[in-house]
Amino acid sequence: MADSYEIRRFRAADKGTPDYAHGTDWIQAVGFGFHDTRRNDEFVDKIMAMYRQDDRELTGVYQTAHVAPHSLGANVPVATFGTLRKDMNVGYGRQLRTHMVTAVTVRGTHRRQGILRRMMTEDLAAAKADGLAVAALTASEGSIYGRFGYGVATFERSIKVDTGARFRLRHAATGRVEIADRKVLLDLAPEVFERVHRHTPGSIVRQDAYRQTVSGVCGRDGAEDEAIKCALHYDASGSVDGYVSYKFAGWDTKPYTIELVDLVAATNSAYLELWQFLGSIDLIERVSWAEAPADDPLAWALEDPRCIESSDHRDMLWLRVLDTGKTLAARRYSADGALILGISDALGLAGGTFRVEVSGGEANVTEAPAGSEADLSLDVADLGSVYLGAVCPVTLKAAGLITEHTPGAALKARLMFAVERPAHCLTHF
Ligand SMILES: CC(=O)SCCNC(=O)CCNC(=O)[C@H](O)C(C)(C)COP(=O)(O)OP(=O)(O)OC[C@H]1O[C@@H](n2cnc3c(N)ncnc32)[C@H](O)[C@@H]1OP(=O)(O)O
């Protein structure tokens, strides 16, 4: 990256403080980078308040030398990079503090000069120095982040569900569903999500924006989103244990469709009963969901699984291991045994040879003595991929990414890294 740029880091700040103006310019630059309409002041205030809730760190890259006359001023960053830290469920309810990377943009007129590379490498090193074991992101394109050691760890897909006559679920309801005012989700959504988070490997605690969006309090343009509707699921004792936030796609969309904004259910019954409700809405023939789990009990509970038309099966959460020993030790494992993993890392953060010895599901992780032969050799990106049990080491071996030195070691790793239920991340950031 040329000397004509300077990197500045600051926190989302209160209105009236000097960093507030920096933050405002930064937010507008992010919007520009993602081709959004320019945000009005009121919306920027809301975004900043949410950023403060998350205690985000904002990184901006600024021009220090010549700024072309009439172009955006030196106060507007040419590149942005945001981070926040929340817990990730790494299986069996274990939590690992995770460095979440978001809002990565480089202005088109300054691209391909190494600005992203510098922001990313400095940020990952700083997160490691702070004691964080793992970083995560959700990617706009699949080809950007592997070079920095990120690997795909969970997946999602888009579904369209035919809720016409053939929609029938093999499930006897144990609770009930009621319509509610969308705004109740401002408080209820985080409570229900917390329960889901505790039992879902791959789940990351949500940023403040989620409750605002799913309740329609802050829509995509910053205004109240009056189109949002909400239904709650109550368990047999009358407690709310699930919700769905959704919109009607309008009378011009045929078949008549409901689009899910968010569906969060803390029990298996709540999940299926929310689907029973969605399948029962009069005049509606289709429910579409752009963020459905890849491994979905709905498909198995339906009498006719072909009610689901699935498309765009895609990467969701990407993990970047920063400290291999800490990351491996944070997990509980599904099978006992010992494995020696040889990890390579082009950025020099997490490489080495590690011995994982699991007994009763608990791991003892040590650096292997010099000269030890690894059972498996893999890149740090592939370690990120297999970590939550959603990517099979045997498949990565077949793809030529993992090298197996001890016959059967990839299958052994698959059994050891398996988690108690399908890994799924419900948090986009
Ligand atoms: C976590 C998130 O926020 S995801 C959102 C990512 N942001 C976007 O998609 C917004 C639009 N795109 C952009 O703003 C920019 O093009 C960025 C951020 C993707 C890349 O920024 P740049 O400063 O141009 O990247 P930089 O010059 O540092 O390139 C670093 C490396 O990535 C590669 N690269 C950069 N962008 C891409 C891309 N879109 N696809 C494939 N490779 C890419 C470069 O070739 C380079 O490779 P090398 O170091 O091996 O030679």
- pLDDT by position in tens, the chain (length 429): 778 999 999 999 888 888 899 999 999 999 999 999 999 999 999 999 999 999 999 999 999 988 999 999 999 999 999 999 999 999 999 999 999 999 999 999 999 999 999 999 999 999 999 999 999 999 999 999 999 999 999 999 999 999 999 999 999 999 999 999 999 999 999 999 999 999 999 999 999 999 999 999 999 899 999 999 999 999 999 999 999 999 999 999 999 999 999 999 999 999 999 999 999 999 999 999 999 999 999 999 999 999 999 999 999 999 999 999 999 999 999 999 999 999 999 999 999 999 999 999 999 999 998 889 999 999 999 999 999 999 999 999 999 999 999 999 999 999 999 999 999 999 999
Output the pLDDT for position 252. 98
Output the pLDDT for position 370. 84
For ligand 1, say whether the CB of 142 is within 6 Å of any of its atoms.
Answer: no
Cα dihedral value 256, 262, 266, 268, nearest 10: 30
Q: Which of 300, 318, 296 is nearest to 159 (CA)?
A: 296
- Measuring from atom 33 of ligand 1, which residue has the nearest CA? 144
**Domain 156-314: assigned CATH number:** 3.40.630.30
- Measuring from atom 20 of ligand 1, which residue has the nearest CA? 116
Q: Which of 307, 303, 276, 274 is nearest to 164 (CA)?
A: 307
233 and 120 Cβ atoms separated by less than 8 Å: no
For ligand 1, say whether the CB of 113 is within 6 Å of any of its atoms.
Answer: yes
What are 340's strand-pairing partners? Answer: 355
For ligand 1, say whether the CB of 147 is within 6 Å of any of its atoms.
Answer: yes
Output the pLDDT for position 428. 97
Chain-centre distance for alpha carbon 174: 31
Output the pLDDT for position 18. 81
161 and 396 Cβ atoms separated by less than 8 Å: no
Residue 205: DSSP 8-state: P
The CATH 3.40.630.30 portion of the chain extends over: 5-132, 156-314
Tally helices (H) and strands (E) across the chain: 11, 19
One-letter amino acid for residue 385 of the chain? S
| 51 C-alpha to ligand 1 centroid (Å) | 24
For ligand 1, say whether the CB of 35 is within 6 Å of any of its atoms.
Answer: no
| 144 C-alpha to ligand 1 centroid (Å) | 6
| 29 C-alpha to ligand 1 centroid (Å) | 16
Output the pLDDT for position 16. 87
Options 3.40.50.1100, 1.25.40.10, 3.40.190.150, 3.30.1050.10; which CATH number does 324-417 get?
3.30.1050.10
| 103 C-alpha to ligand 1 centroid (Å) | 12
Residue appearing with tokens 């997160």: 127
Q: In angstroms, rounded to a whole number, what is the distance separating the alpha carbons of residues 101 and 96?
A: 15
Ligand 1 atom at minimal distance to the Cα of residue 117: 28
Residue 236's φ and ψ, nearest 5 degrees, are -60, -25
For ligand 1, say whether the CB of 1 is within 6 Å of any of its atoms.
Answer: no
Ligand 1 atom at minimal distance to the Cα of residue 118: 28
For ligand 1, say whether the CB of 114 is within 6 Å of any of its atoms.
Answer: yes
For ligand 1, say whether the CB of 30 is within 6 Å of any of its atoms.
Answer: no
Ligand 1 atom at minimal distance to the Cα of residue 115: 23
Ramachandran region, residue 360 (left: φ > 0; alpha: ψ -120 to 50; beta: rest): left
Ligand 1 atom at minimal distance to the Cα of residue 33: 10
* Class of the CATH domain delimited by 5-132: alpha beta
pTM above 0.90, yes or no: yes
The CATH 3.30.1050.10 portion of the chain extends over: 324-417
231 and 192 Cβ atoms separated by less than 8 Å: no
Ligand 1 atom at minimal distance to the Cα of residue 137: 1
